[in-house]
């Protein structure tokens, strides 16, 4: 029963477009009223009607340690007591930059901003400034935030809405975004062939997680590294989801590939609004005030956000056993799906997706073969059983360190029942 959520949704729709501040929260793909969340703790979220859910969204990634991790909370509260924002340089920003540069081999310098969208938008600008070229290659079904250039055949909520291109993006902007197919190196080679000397960067989710989870096939990421190197283009790994999640050094460490630039969000803010982009010193030196590429932010490097993010990243770096644990839990859930015919399961570390299809899912085209009505039924079955998974097929299931064996067992039972 959720009368309070229903009532809030009624009120919200009058004053907020669709009643939500980010589209996929609206339950548009699965029907029913979105749950309004009052609080969360560990692996659980509680809605305004007092219903408790095992949470497999984790704020779409940031809460890898679970909700209200005591150390993260203490760090954020302590920072808040010293002032919420100064708009001036702080020591903790230096600590954060040093920690990331020490943790991620491909990051020699880093700049903080306030969201993943901003991180990507800025990294693209830097790549263009650095190379003096204008075109960007992205992959169909990958989502890189809502900047104009990236809303071309994008994933996540835009894909769920069945409109992977947004109104309001000019033809002029869209024409500089060239589209390749995930896991298809030939499609990338063909684009470079037709646009010699014009491509500034290739941007990729090293594990795609916004058309559901889609793993890079053997050689795909290395192939991108080789093609970009041969063509003096910048390789950008969008690690907004995978950063600090697959390993302390993200997908770059996990797969042993060195991109030129990396973008972060989510975990690096520990649940506060943060994004960041970093990479080779040679490229990052193009950023203002030392270089000619302008990028700025009133709340960039916000002290409370830095405190939450720094503590989260420190915990992950000092307890790398967390990753094996997360992988084990996710494998168990994946196992429950793969027992069944007609379900394709993709899992890596703490990320997984089940697609209701007989096809192997390796790109946008195969992801779209999933029966999304079946997904909606699955979502509602899980919700009824007190388990909160993504309210859309084209998203990931996020495991956290706070999920208990009991949570996993309850989840598996509900999957089997479905």
Catalytic residue positions? 143, 238, 266
- Beta strand spans in 181-242 (E): 199-204, 234-238
Q: Residues 73, 74, 79, 84: is their CA dihedral positive or negative?
A: positive
**Smallest distance, ligand PMP to C-beta of residue 399, A:** 16
**Smallest distance, ligand PMP to C-beta of residue 408, A:** 24
Residues 6+ away with beta carbon under 8 Å from 51: 1, 2, 35, 386
Q: Which window, 139-147, 252-260, 305-313, 382-390, contacts ligand PMP (CB under 6 A)?
A: 139-147
Is 227 one of the binding residues for ligand PMP (CB under 6 A)?
no
CA distances to 104, 121, 209, 244, 272 from 350, in Å: 19, 27, 11, 11, 21
Is 122 one of the binding residues for ligand PMP (CB under 6 A)?
no
Q: Out of 25, 133, 135, 144, which residue is the one contacting ligand PMP (CB under 6 A)?
A: 144
Give the pairing type, strands 387-388 and 52-55: parallel
Rounded to an integer, what distance in angstroms lies between the CA atom of residue 363 and that of residue 204? Answer: 13
Instruction: Give the strand order in the sheet containing 177-180.
Output: 109-113, 275-279, 261-265, 234-238, 199-204, 135-139, 177-180
Is 223 one of the binding residues for ligand PMP (CB under 6 A)?
no
Show the binding pattern over residues 3-42: x = contacts ligand PMP (CB under 6 A), - = does not: ----------------------------------------
Q: Out of 154, 241, 251, 307, which residue is the one contacting ligand PMP (CB under 6 A)?
A: 241
Q: What is the dihedral of CA 215, 219, 224, 227, to 10 degrees?
A: -160
Q: Out of 29, 30, 107, 240, which residue is the one contacting ligand PMP (CB under 6 A)?
A: 240
Is 300 one of the binding residues for ligand PMP (CB under 6 A)?
no
**Smallest distance, ligand PMP to C-beta of residue 156, A:** 6
Is 205 one of the binding residues for ligand PMP (CB under 6 A)?
yes
**Smallest distance, ligand PMP to C-beta of residue 116, A:** 2
Rounded to an integer, what distance in angstroms lies between the CA atom of residue 124 and that of residue 101? Answer: 20
Is 216 one of the binding residues for ligand PMP (CB under 6 A)?
no
Other CB atoms within 10 Å distance of the CB of residue 258: 16
Is 245 one of the binding residues for ligand PMP (CB under 6 A)?
no
**Smallest distance, ligand PMP to C-beta of residue 120, A:** 5
Is 115 one of the binding residues for ligand PMP (CB under 6 A)?
yes
Return the residue nearest ligand PMP (CB atom): 116
Q: Out of 110, 120, 152, 251, which residue is the one contacting ligand PMP (CB under 6 A)?
A: 120
For the record, the structure tokens of 145 come out as: 């935030």
Is 60 one of the binding residues for ligand PMP (CB under 6 A)?
yes
The angle, 0 to 180 degrees and rounded to 10, between the axes of the packed helices 321-338 and 405-417 is 20
Binding to ligand PMP, residues 247-276 (CB under 6 A): 265, 275
Contacts with ligand PMP by CB under 6 A: the residue count is 16
Q: Is 221 exposed, middle or buried (0-12, 13-18, 19+ CB in 10 A)?
A: buried
Q: Which of the 8 DSSP states describes residue 87?
A: S
CA distances to 11, 47, 66, 116, 314 from 270, in Å: 30, 21, 10, 13, 11
Q: Which is nearer to ligand PMP, 54 or 276 (CB)?
A: 276
Q: Which residues would be at the binding site for ligand PMP (CB under 6 A)?
A: 60, 115-117, 120, 143-145, 156, 205, 210, 238, 240-241, 265, 275
């Amino acid at each position: 029963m959720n009368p309070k959520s229903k009532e809030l949704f009624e009120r919200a729709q009058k004053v907020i477009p669709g009643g939500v501040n980010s589209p996929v929260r609206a339950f548009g793909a699965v029907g029913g009223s979105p749950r309004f969340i009052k609080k969360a703790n560990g692996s659980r979220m509680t809605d305004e009607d007092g219903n408790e859910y095992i949470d497999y969204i984790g704020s779409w990634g940031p809460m890898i340690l679970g909700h209200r991790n005591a150390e993260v909370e203490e760090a954020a509260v302590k920072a808040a007591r010293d002032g919420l924002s100064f708009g001036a340089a702080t020591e903790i920003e230096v600590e954060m930059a040093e920690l990331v540069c020490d943790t991620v081999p491909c990051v020699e310098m880093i700049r903080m901003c306030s969201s993943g969208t901003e991180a990507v938008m800025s990294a693209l600008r830097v790549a263009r400034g650095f190379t003096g070229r204008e075109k960007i290659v992205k992959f169909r079904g990958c989502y890189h935030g809502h900047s104009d250039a990236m809303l071309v055949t994008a994933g996540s909520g835009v894909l769920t809405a069945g409109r992977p291109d947004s109104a309001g993006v000019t033809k002029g902007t869209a024409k500089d975004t060239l589209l390749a197919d995930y896991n298809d190196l030939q499609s990338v080679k063909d684009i470079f062939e037709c646009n010699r000397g014009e491509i500034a960067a290739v941007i990729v989710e090293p594990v795609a997680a916004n058309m559901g989870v889609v793993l890079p096939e053997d050689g795909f990421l290395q192939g991108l590294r080789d093609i970009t190197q041969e063509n003096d283009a910048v390789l950008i790994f969008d690690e907004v989801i995978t950063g600090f999640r697959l390993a302390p050094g993200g997908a770059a460490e996990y797969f042993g590939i060195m991109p030129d630039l990396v973008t972060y969000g989510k975990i690096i803010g520990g649940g506060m609004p943060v994004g960041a982009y970093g990479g080779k010193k040679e490229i990052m030196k193009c950023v203002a005030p030392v270089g000619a590429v302008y990028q700025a932010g009133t709340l960039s490097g916000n002290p409370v956000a830095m405190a939450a993010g720094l503590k989260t990243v420190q915990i992950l770096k000092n307890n790398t056993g967390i990753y094996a644990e997360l992988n084990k839990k996710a494998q168990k859930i994946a196992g429950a799906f793969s027992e069944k015919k007609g379900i394709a399961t993709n899992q890596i570390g703490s990320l997984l997706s089940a697609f209701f299809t007989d096809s192997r899912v390796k790109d946008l085209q195969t992801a779209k073969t999933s029966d999304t009505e079946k997904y909606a039924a699955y979502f509602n079955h899980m919700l009824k059983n007190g388990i909160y998974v993504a309210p859309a097929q084209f998203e990931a299931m996020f495991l956290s360190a706070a999920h208990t064996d009991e949570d996993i067992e309850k989840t598996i039972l509900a999957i089997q029942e479905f």
